[in-house]
């Protein structure tokens, strides 16, 4: 399975009507895990790079609910970039995949859904260490 197949783009249904937009995301249904943690990134600009890590156990879905950003995804062999530019789409990132989020628009709000509670010990923050573990 190649990297794009392991990290698919997810498209969520827009259930809105004349009153406005509504997007529902349910853990275990719309995304492939139960949600244990939710956080969001805002106030970054196009010069900031966030992420810069891989997780040993956590699964993530990243969604720009406002504005836009980019996510560089790599496993050390393959790499691709996702433009998160619609609130009805996200990208799934399984464990042991390196991610860099960048090119934040001024109005960007990047929503992150995670399968685990925060545990700093499961983060790999050094890219060279990550590459060694992936060999």
Give me the active site residues, please.
Answer: 53
Quote the CA–CA distance of 96 and 55 in Å, as a whole number.
5
Specify the DSSP element, H or E, that contains 91. strand 89-93
Report residue 88: phi and psi, to 5°.
-100, 10
Pick the closest to residue 47 from 108, 97, 105, 91 (CA basis): 105
Give Cα 135 to chain centroid, integer Å: 24
Quote the CA–CA distance of 30 and 8 in Å, as a whole number.
12
């Amino acid at each position: 399975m190649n990297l794009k197949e392991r990290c698919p783009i997810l498209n969520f249904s827009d259930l809105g009507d004349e009153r406005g937009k509504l997007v529902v995301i349910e853990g275990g249904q719309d995304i492939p895990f139960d949600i244990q943690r939710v956080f969001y990134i805002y106030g970054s600009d196009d010069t900031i790079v966030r992420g810069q890590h891989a997780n040993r156990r956590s699964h993530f879905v990243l969604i720009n609910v406002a504005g836009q950003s980019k996510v560089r995804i790599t496993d050390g062999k393959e790499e691709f970039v996702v433009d998160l530019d619609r609130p009805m789409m996200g990208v799934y990132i399984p464990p042991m995949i390196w991610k860099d989020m960048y090119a934040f628009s001024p109005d960007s709000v990047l929503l992150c859904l995670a399968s685990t509670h925060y545990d700093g010990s499961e983060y790999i923050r050094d890219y060279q260490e990550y590459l060694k573990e992936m060999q």
